[in-house]
Structure 1
Amino acid sequence: MAKTVLITGSSSGIGRETARAFHDDDWTVYATARDPATVADLAERGCETAALDVTDEEQVRATVDAVIEEQGRLDCVVNNAGYGQFGPVEDVPTTALHRQFDVNVYGPHRVVRAALPHMREREEGRIVNVSSVAGRVVTPGMGAYAASKFALEALTDALRNEIAPYDVEAVLVEPGPVETSFAERANGELAGVERSGAYESVYRLYDDSEVFGGQSPVAIAPEQVARTVLEAAVTPDPRARYPVGGFAELSLKARYLPDGARDTAFGLLNRLV
């Protein structure tokens, strides 16, 4: 019998390509999105589709229960739904920070809590949380987004050890910039921030640079991330983390620099922009 995967945030980018990758690997795929019309083409391709807003706990539980009722199993969850709230920490309102955590942290938590009882009972299953290189290295102007990804990484690290006795695994996938509409939405969220006037150099970094966007010269294709997600789901003995792309792997090495050295580098960048 084919294995079953539930993927959140399948309407575009990484989620859409991940649904295709699992389908091509002969999984039964439940591709979900807030608006099911955005995944209609995946239904035509042979995926099951459903409306799922990860901020709605009742809908999360109902969707997970429906998958298990229809298929009798849920082998893998891919928590991919998310977005980026950019902006200097002082300028980002607390309501925006809350929304960021509601989607990027509480959302995966809701899905995990709904899926785990079934996985523990079967003593089989895997949680793949799509994080980011920003979950381990933070740059100015990305405090809210990075905080949500740091939190997701911490939750996953704890979860990995808690569920190990039940033969259920939790894995992190950490891409750098990806050729998706992520940066476009992040720029939209940034545009909604009321600027205090104190951090114009930080705004210029995002206004004038494509380093963090989908058009960045270091951005990777979403298909590459999707292949890594699939690898993380099917590898018999998965690693705890899967950085994706050369930029991600290089950036993660910055964690080993002294804090003062990183701060000096950011100060230099601040003067340059």
Structure 2
Amino acid sequence: MRARTFAVVGGTSGLGLAAARLLANEHRVTIFGDAPDEVAAATDDLGCFGAVCDVSSYEQVRAAFAAIVARDGALDGVADCASMWAGGDIEDLAPDRLRRVVEVNVLGPTYVIREALHHMHRQGYGNVVYVGAMAVTRSRPGIPVYRATKSYGSSLVESLAEAQHNNKVKIMQLHPGPMPTRLQERVGDQFLDEVYAQPEQVAAELVRLLQLTPEDLYVSGEQVLRADGRW
């Protein structure tokens, strides 16, 4: 099997880094992150490419994907793992914090998936996997903004998947449960859930989806895979 080209958005830590590590030995991988030092550390560790990119900036997202295609000639798969936590009563969240969460969790996947589809439609194939959260399926106090913004991404994927009308460009979603990642650390004790799965376990399923071929069965959007360690 030929080496393929993958982008892992939010790939400097947690699930994204675990997925990039599984891919990097055999494929061309570019890690997206918004902190230059974290991107440098991750790319040095894995020996892959890196792109400093704020996903809330369309121009930065567009330029990062264009650079991959110009360098590697194709874009086989994109994992969108970028996410920002927002917990607590909505009255306690500062307006600037609210705006930033919407920028990362709503504008981010919109721009990332838009540009991924742009290149995949031009080449005629490709896989996009949006990483959501089990929070979208379970309402609970204290996470209204986080849940709402992550639900946006799930809805976006479902609608876009219906619009593809073919199996060569697949848009899928994976909803992990609590994992010991940096985001989980930021949740705080009042929201700390029991951890059911390790990032490496969920990353294996994420990588499997990324590597589906155009001839594989139609799974786009129709099948929401929940990886919380209790299946």
What is the TM-score when the length of structure 2 is the normalising length? 0.89
Structure 1 contact 83–186 (Cα < 8 Å) conserved = no
- Paired with 1:94 and 1:118, the residues of 2 have a C-alpha distance of 35
- Counterparts of 1:232-251 in structure 2, within 5 Å, are 232-235=209-212, 236-237=216-217, 238=219, 240-247=223-230
Displacement, 1:93? 4.2
Select the residue among 193, 197, 213 that pairs with 1:220.
Answer: 197
Q: Deviations over 1:37-77 (max 9, x none)?
A: 21334423321111111011111111000000000000111
Q: Deviations over 1:108-141 (max 9, x none)?
A: 1111112212211221011100000112222110
- Counterparts of 1:133-148 in structure 2, within 5 Å, are 133-148=134-149
Q: Secondary structure at the match of 1:87?
A: coil
Q: Deviations over 1:178-237 (max 9, x none)?
A: 0111123333xxxxxxxxxxxxxxxxxx53x632xxxx3x34211112111111212323
Residues 234, 164 of structure 1: CA spacing in aligned structure 2 closer, same or farther, 3 A cutoff?
farther
Q: Secondary structure at the match of 2:104?
A: helix
- Paired with 2:47 and 2:165, the residues of 1 have a C-alpha distance of 33
Q: Secondary structure at the match of 1:223?
A: helix
Q: Matched residues, percent identical?
A: 31
- Paired with 2:206 and 2:179, the residues of 1 have a C-alpha distance of 14
Displacement, 1:2? 1.6
Q: Secondary structure at the match of 1:246?
A: coil
1:210 equivalent to 2:192? Answer: yes
1:4 equivalent to 2:5? Answer: yes
Partner of 2:162: 161
Letter in 2 for 1:132: A
| Higher normalized helix content (fraction of residues) | 1
Residue correspondences, number: 223
Q: Secondary structure at the match of 2:163?
A: helix
- Paired with 1:78 and 1:210, the residues of 2 have a C-alpha distance of 25
5+ residue gaps, structure 1, are: 188-205, 250-273
Letter in 1 for 2:80: N
Structure 1 contact 40–49 (Cα < 8 Å) conserved = yes
- Paired with 1:166 and 1:231, the residues of 2 have a C-alpha distance of 16
Structure 1 contact 36–49 (Cα < 8 Å) conserved = no
- Paired with 2:179 and 2:152, the residues of 1 have a C-alpha distance of 21
Deviates more, 1:95-104 or 1:53-62: 95-104
Residues 94, 37 of structure 1: CA spacing in aligned structure 2 closer, same or farther, 3 A cutoff?
closer
Partner of 1:179: 180
Structure 2 contact 184–192 (Cα < 8 Å) conserved = no
- Paired with 1:126 and 1:157, the residues of 2 have a C-alpha distance of 14
Structure 2 contact 4–28 (Cα < 8 Å) conserved = yes
Displacement, 1:19? 0.6
Partner of 2:208: 231
- Paired with 1:244 and 1:71, the residues of 2 have a C-alpha distance of 31
5+ residue gaps, structure 2, are: none
Larger radius of gyration: 1
- Paired with 1:76 and 1:138, the residues of 2 have a C-alpha distance of 31
